[in-house]
Structure 1
Amino acid sequence: MDIGVAPNSPVPKAKSPVGRIITWSLIGLLLLIAAINSVATVQFGHVGLYKTLGKLSDNTLAPGIHFKIPFVQKIIQVNVQVTKAEADTSASSKDLQPVSTHVALNYSVNKESAYNLMNNIGGGFDTVIVAPAIQEIVKEVTAKYAAEDLIAKRDVVANEIHDLLTKRMAKYDLIVNDINIVNFKFSDAFNQSIEAKQVAQQQALKAENDLKRIQIEAQQTVAQAQAEAESLKLKKQEVTPDLIALKQIEVQQQAIQKWDGKLPSVTGGATPFIDVSNLSSK
């Protein structure tokens, strides 16, 4: 018995070329998207962590190109370069002076422990950990010093803040590289008192210097007078009878050297004047 095709049954139609093109184009596009999503690049200065369906992997990826499962995995990048955080804090000094401190902190993430940081804290560690730590420790340290000491011992204060922040942030695998106290700001009344104190110190120093100068000049005058007196004393000690007799002999010798061999016609002294010329003619 022959089985024929019912005259009313539909005959399958071959797909048109346009339909095939669209189909293969969609397949190609999906393959391209999958290929693009199968690789990711970890930038320089960062480390990468796989996140698979919400679960974070502890496998740390170095900078470069890495493969991942498309649409299932993604790579989270963690910046391990030195990062700058700035904060303004308001507190009171040991002598209850209001002080505002502007601090700049340089810190970085320990790349060996990036998984612990991201898994326990997350990407907002700068606001969750860093900023509150700066606020708390700066207030704690400034309260230990009088207002004037905060200015005079700026390096000591900065080192103490650095040490406390290092201990605090090490718990979260954050490394403190450096900290700088950019500025201390005090009340206007305190600034005026500091300025008045500095003026008074300068005036006192000037007065002290003037007094020292006067004392030195007086000492120089006394020393000069003593030297002159000593000189006169020595000169008086040198004038002796023998020295006088010697000077007389020197004067007589000089007179003899100057004599021309002729006797004076008249001599005087204790005896009456005698005319020498008359005596010679007799």
Structure 2
Amino acid sequence: MHVVEPNPVKKMSLKPYILIGLLIVAGLIVAFNGFQTVQYGNVGLYKTFGKLNDNILAPGIHMKIPFVQTIIQVNVQVQKTETDTSASSKDLQPVSTHVAVNYSVDKEAAYKLMNNVGGSFGSVIVNPAIQEIVKEVTARYPAEDLIAKRDIVAGEIREHLTNRLAKYNLIVNDINIVNFKFSDAFNQSIEAKQVAQQQALKAENDLKRIQIEAKQKVAQAQAEAESLKLKKQEVTPELIQLKQIEVQEKALDKWDGRLPSVTGGATPFIDVDSFAGSGK
């Protein structure tokens, strides 16, 4: 039986193609690893064999040495962290403070931050600083002032936190005291005090109302007395005589010329002379 052996020429002709294919694949891998994109809202830093380069890369596509360099990305957008802090007020009332802080990385100093602190700066630097400063500030105020002066307390916390984080090239954008929590006994005392203040205010308002009404009555009585006084001053003998004449004229206008008939008693007096004189 005759066995047909493989053609050595055809077998050798496949090797160049395989080699070329491997080179193409290797080239593509190298090419893909030679570029990296820095995402929007971040800056990039070259890391060569574990060492950071202080060259700050803007968002976009950047070249790098394949398998030698990597580009780490640092978020420079505003970030939010929230924390609860337990402390005591100046008057030794236990208080729990829930604080929300917005902060960001100074993009121009991203290298210093990453080189000195690293990527976990939130848990290493930011949160401990918030805890310490909130405790420090709340201890300066009585419990009631923490409620009444919330904006002032928040401003003081922000000022101290800004100074603390600036050392690490972090920027405090805003701070909000979300809530103060006190003991039940303190809350009840505050509620009782508010009720007492409201009752005192109501009593004060009622007193003012009574005083105003009394003053109004006095003023009205004084006005009426002054009016009577003026009217009395206006009554003169001439005015009385004039009124009598007006009454007599009205009576004559209604008289039918006959004297009234009366039984007993005196006859009403009529000034006939003055009536006759008026007819002349």
**TM-score above 0.5, yes or no:** yes
Q: Identify which of 119, 126, 135 aligns with 2:122.
A: 126
| Residue of structure 2 equivalent to 1:10 | none
Q: Which residue type is aligned with residue 234 of structure 1? A: L
Q: Root-mean-square deviation (CA), in Å?
A: 2.3
Of 175, 180, 189, the match for 1:179: 175
Q: Which amino acid in the other structure matches residue 71 of structure 1?
A: F
1:232 deviates by: 2.4
Q: Distance in 2 between matches of 1:115 and 1:56?
A: 8
Mapped to 2, the partners of 1:169 and 1:266 lie a distance apart of: 119
The SS at the match of 2:177 is strand
Deviation digits for residues 10-38 of structure 1 (CA, Å, limit 9, x no counterpart):
xxx77545555544433332222111110
After TM superposition, give the deviation of residue 263 of structure 1 in Å.
6.6
Aligned equivalent of 2:276: none
Q: What's the secondary structure of 2:26's corresponding residue?
A: helix
Displaced runs of 4+ in structure 1, greater than 6 A?
A: 265-268
**What pairs up with 1:64-213 in 2 under 5 angstroms?**
64-213=60-209
Amino acid aligned to 1:220: Q
What's the offset of the Cα at 1:46?
Answer: 0.6
**The residue matched to 2:141 in structure 1 has which SS?**
coil
Which whole-Å CA distance do the structure 2 matches of 1:131 and 1:236 have between them? Answer: 87
Secondary structure of 2:83's aligned partner = strand
State the alpha-carbon separation in 1 of the partners of residues 109 and 130 from structure 2: 22
Once residues 234 and 255 of structure 2 are traced to their aligned partners in structure 1, the CA distance between those partners, rounded to angstroms, is: 31
Q: Deviations over 1:223-281 (max 9, x none)?
A: 22222222223333333322222222222333444456x5759997599xxxxxxxxxx
How far apart, in 1, do the equivalents of 2:247 and 2:118 lie? 116
TM-score w.r.t. the length of structure 1 is 0.84
**Unaligned 5+ runs, structure 1:** 1-12, 272-282
Percent identity, aligned pairs only, is 74
Matched, 1:38 2:34: yes
Structure 2 counterpart SS, 1:59:
strand
The alpha carbon displacement at 1:213 in A equals 1.1
The change in CA–CA distance for 1:84 and 1:259 in structure 2 (over 3 A counts) is same
SS at match of 1:145: coil
Q: Distance in 2 between matches of 1:270 and 1:26?
A: 153
Rg (Cα) greater in structure: 1
Q: What secondary structure, in the 3-state scheme, does the structure 1 residue paired with 2:246 have?
A: helix
> Which amino acid is 1:67 matched to?
M
Q: Quick one: structure 1 residues 197 and 266, their matched pair in 2 at CA, closer, same or farther if it must change by over 3 Å?
A: closer
The reply on whether 1:58 has 2:54 as its aligned counterpart is yes
* Distance in 1 between residues matched to 2:66 and 2:184, nearest whole Å: 63
Q: 1:222 to 1:19 in 2, by over 3 A?
A: same
Question: Residues 232-247 of structure 1 correspond to what in structure 2 (within 5 A)?
Answer: 232-247=228-243
Q: Deviations over 1:45-98 (max 9, x none)?
A: 111110111111011111100010100000011111111111111100011011
What secondary structure does 1:230 align onto?
helix
